[in-house]
Amino acid sequence: MRYRGRFAPSPTGPLHAGSLVAALASWLDARAHGGQWMVRIEDVDTPRCMPGADALILQQLATCGLTSDEPVVWQSRQGERYQGVLQTLVDADRAYPCGCSRKDIEAALQARGVSLQRHGTAVYPGTCRPDQGGLNGRPARAWRFACSPAAAVVRWTDRRQGEQSQDVAQAVGDFVLKRADGLWAYQLAVVVDDAAQRITHVVRGEDLADNTPRQILLQQVLGLPRPAYLHTPLIRDAAGEKLSKQTGAPPLELSDPAATLGRAAAALGLPATPGSVPERLLSWTGAWRARWAP
Ligand code: GLU
């Protein structure tokens, strides 16, 4: 198997110190395995995207010596592929249209006395499931994945976090594949693209670890290979908050790229090393290989 890894930023703004850690880790893992490293711009959530952020991110990565081995892929250009996969799931009775608004969902949950919240998002009560009566005459808004409660327990081993498991039906429920605003959901897009790009290893921030079981479930249902997963530690600000654009993380300071990379490497537990950007990358590749690809 030929190693193929990727870094998949959402262009909602320029890279910050936290995103550089994920970029560096995925690049080092690819190099340590003698593999390929690709950049994919995840711009499906168009209202959250910032015009020009994609070009800026690619430039920031290049300044840090990280360039895609294959032409960069933009998710906003893959709509036909996502539609085809949604149709496959519909044909297999694993996706269905949903006519519920957020309010409908909350009301249905309240009526059942359920107060199950997950990151502020309610676990979908299954109102529009075909076996519960379907849309019942309401117009379709979103499309959801139909979890089979009997087979929704996903087990996997994260290379850093170890043995993991989640009952997706219970923890998340029938999750959205295509949103009410017509945009593709991250879960579907990421699974389709990881498969289309033949990604063998996913290395990304720990904040995304919680999505992994949904993605594995989709891979299983679609008969797609499962990549190996490694979730990297997050960088937190002085208040202990994860660094993110939402919490106002400043864009990367790149007047001294070697020093900026040095801070990202330190967050990954890699030793300080002198030299230029290429020299440091080479030295960290050796250290990474010893730890993660012996
Ligand atoms: N686009 C996602 C983000 O920037 C990352 C997706 C992934 O690596 O799976 O948070």
Least confident of 17-31, 103-117, 247-261: 103-117
Its pTM stands at: 0.94
Nearest-atom number in ligand 1 for the CA of 7 is 8
Return the higher-pLDDT residue of 251 and 227.
Answer: 227
Ligand 1 lined by 42 (C-beta under 6 Å): yes
Q: Where are the beta strands (DSSP E) in 83-161?
A: 95-98, 117-118, 121-122, 142-145, 153-158
pLDDT tier at 121 (50, 70, 90 boundaries)? low
**CA separation, residue 247 to residues 17, 18, 110 (Å):** 13, 12, 31
Nearest-atom number in ligand 1 for the CA of 22 is 8
Helix 277-292, helix 17-32: angle, nearest 10: 70
Ligand 1 lined by 10 (C-beta under 6 Å): yes
Return the higher-pLDDT residue of 111 and 2.
Answer: 2
Q: Mean pLDDT for the chain?
A: 93
Pocket test for ligand 1, best of 29, 61, 190 (most atoms within 8 A of CB): 190
Angle made by CA atoms 44, 88, 3, in degrees to the nearest 5: 65
Q: In whole angstroms, what is the distance from residue 91 CA to residue 207 CA?
A: 33
Tokens 């029938």 locate to: 174
Pocket test for ligand 1, best of 208, 212, 215, 226 (most atoms within 8 A of CB): 208
Mean pLDDT confidence for 46-57: 96
Instruction: Determine whether 289 is exposed, middle or buried from the number of CB atoms within 10 Å of its CB (0-12, 13-18, 19+).
Output: middle
Ligand 1 lined by 192 (C-beta under 6 Å): no
